[in-house]
Every structure is written in structure tokens, then in C-alpha cells.
Amino acid sequence: MAIQSINFKKLFLNFFLIIFISSLCFSSQAKENKILLSINKEIITTVDVLNEINYLRLLNKEIRNLDNKTLIEIAKNSLIKNTIKKIELQKNIKEIKLNEQYLDKLITNMYSKLGLKNEKDFEARLKENNINIEEIREKISIEVIWNQLIYKKFIKQVKIDKEKIKDSLTKKNIQYQKKYLLSEIVFDIKENENLNDKTKLIKDNIKKNGFKNTALLFSIADTSKLGGSLGWINENSISEKIKQELLNLKIGQQTDTILIPGGFLVLNIDNISKEKKEINFEEELNKIINDKTNEQLTQFSNIYFNKVQKNITINEI
């Protein structure tokens, strides 16, 4: 990836951005809009960054506690990633468009997760945050169609040992179900970085800003917008390698850096649940297979994105 800039220029740009966006936040009348980045033929402006900050605040309340400089960096990274995906999709399909009924269902799921009861309440929340619903529909469409592309390209490369999973389930007392509520940071190493320095930077940021805000800033995974949240994951769906990393950790603690295809992984335990439950063997088997399939597809997605990114030219204006 080519980034044409010098440290002084970047420092000045960040200083300008902080001043500009701060003024926009306090003045709804501000109309000035400047180009910040060009990504191939696509551009990112100061207003785009402001709108992305508003969008990320809608998804994750914890982001509100971050300083303007960090917010700007998170928003820029998010916009760059979204734009790169859009550029790649345009090479593979005629139009980035979902079925309207399906898209409406995804919008409903989105505002339900935000604790809103209906579309009217959602529209009111968007208005409060100066967010355009069409921009959200485009973002969701890009993410879904990107995932469809990854599935089409890599599903035949997914390897699941169904018999091994069956054997493992049979040997265990699966009446007791242990679950982890997990969040993740997936990161890679650039040419000018090394693993130790990057790991220290991430760990220091976790201590300063918390795990979820650090995921927003550093994670390359699609979960980054939600603070890295993976939700509840059944112990049986977790690989032995990662299970060993989690085994002796308490709630609120993180794993060491784990090498995965396409990068490195740090997991945070948000909560742990262990309950006695009657489990349907076939349902449990299918769920584990589905979870492991999604895990591998996510890794393929990260690898493919990194490959695409190397052929993208990003210029700071």
C-alpha cells in the first residue's frame, strides 16, 4: 500500500482535523468540507470523518470517552477499510445492492440490538446523531456482499473434521455447558513494525482506554466497530489451542498474542457462564460446525483483505 506523506505533513493534517472536527461538533451550520485522502479514485473528506465518528458512536457508547485525536484515527481507519472493500466489490459484481426486504430485516436487527423498539425510534436516534439512513444501508450492503464474496471464493477451502467433533462431544459430559463472552482484537504487522512493539502498543492502549476502544483503533476484524465483540461462544466451538489460552484466565483478562492465519489475535473474557442444560446432540454438532466454518471464513476474509490492500494506493491530500 503506497502512502505518500511525510511526518510533518501528517502531524499538520491531524492537527487540522482535530480543530476542524471539533468546530463542526459545536456548529451545525459549518459547511466547509476538505478532501483528506484519495483511495484509488475514491475520496474521504473531513465531513466523511465526522459522519463516521457519529456512526461509530451510535454502535458503541464507549467510544464517547475517547479524545478527538483517537476518534479521528479510528474513523479514518474504518472509512479506509470500508472503501477498500467497496473498490474490490466493484471489480467482482455489477452493483453493490441487497434485496430490499433482506436489507430492511438487517436494519431491524440493528436497531433492536440498540434497544430501540421500532423504525420511528431508530430514525429519531439517527437524526439526533446527524446520521443519514442511506449511508447506513450502504455500509451494511458492503459488509454483507463482502462476506458473500468471501464465502463464494473460499468455502471449498474450509476444512471441518466432523467425525473428530462428534467423538469429542460423545466423550464429554455436555449436560454442563460452559460459555465465554468474548471480544477480540485481530491485528497484522506492517513492513515498518515488529510484533513485540505492536503487542506492547496494543496492551498499553488496553490499560489506558479499555479493550473495546482498543479494538476500535487497532483491530482489522469486522467486529472492530462493535468493540471487538464476538458474543457468547460455546466452549465446544473453540479450538484446543485457544481453549488452553482461556483456561486459566478470569473475567476481564486477556490472552497472550495468538498466531492465526492472516495475523495475530488477542481475546478478552467479558464474562463466563456454566449451566446445566439438556443439549440436543445434533443441534450442538451443527452449531459447532457452523461456528468453526465462520471462524475459518473470517480468517480467509482477513487474508484476502490484506492482499487486496497491498494493491490499493492511498494518498493524503
**What domain range is 44 assigned to?**
2-154
Least confident segment among 15-19, 160-164, 240-244, 269-273:
15-19
Average pLDDT, the chain: 86
Assess whether 171 and 246 both reside in one domain: yes
> Nine-digit cell at 8?
510533518
In the chain, the number of structural domains is 2
Asked if residue 168 and residue 141 are part of one domain, the reply reads no
For 213, other C-beta atoms within 10 Å of its C-beta total: 23
CA–CA separation, 290 and 170 (whole Å): 18
Of 121, 154, 187, the position where a domain reaches its end is 154
Residues 148 and 166 in one domain: no
Check whether residue 150 and residue 166 sit in a common domain.
Answer: no
Per-residue pLDDT reduced to its tens digit, 2-14:
433 434 445 545 5
Residue 313 falls within a domain, yes or no?
no
Quickly list H helices, 155-229. 162-171, 195-209, 211-218
CATH number at residue 50: 1.10.4030.10
**Which residues does 244 contact at the CB level (< 8 Å), separation at least 6?**
none
Residue 171, in any domain of the structure: yes
The answer, as to whether pTM is greater than 0.85, is no
75-84, 153-162, 224-233, 276-285: least confident range: 276-285
Residues 123 and 227 in one domain: no
197-206 burial: b if 16+ Cβ within 10 Å, else e: ebbeebeebb
- Using CA atoms, how far apart are residues 222 and 49, in angstroms rounded to an integer? 18
Asked which of 32-41, 242-251, 302-311 is least confident by mean pLDDT, the reply is: 32-41
List pLDDT tens digits, range 19-66: 555 554 444 434 568 888 999 989 999 999 999 999 998 888 778 778
Copy the grid coordinates of residue 292: 468453526
Average of per-residue pLDDT across 280-308: 91
So what's the pLDDT on residue 22? 52
Residues 105 and 228 grouped into a single domain:
no
17 versus 166: the higher-pLDDT residue is 166
Indicate the residue among 154, 183, 211 that finishes a domain. 154
CB 37 within 8 A of CB 46: no
The CA–CA distances, whole Å, from 24 to 43, 127, 203, 317 equal: 19, 16, 32, 20
Query: What is the largest distance, in Å, between two alpha-carbon atoms of the chain?
Result: 66
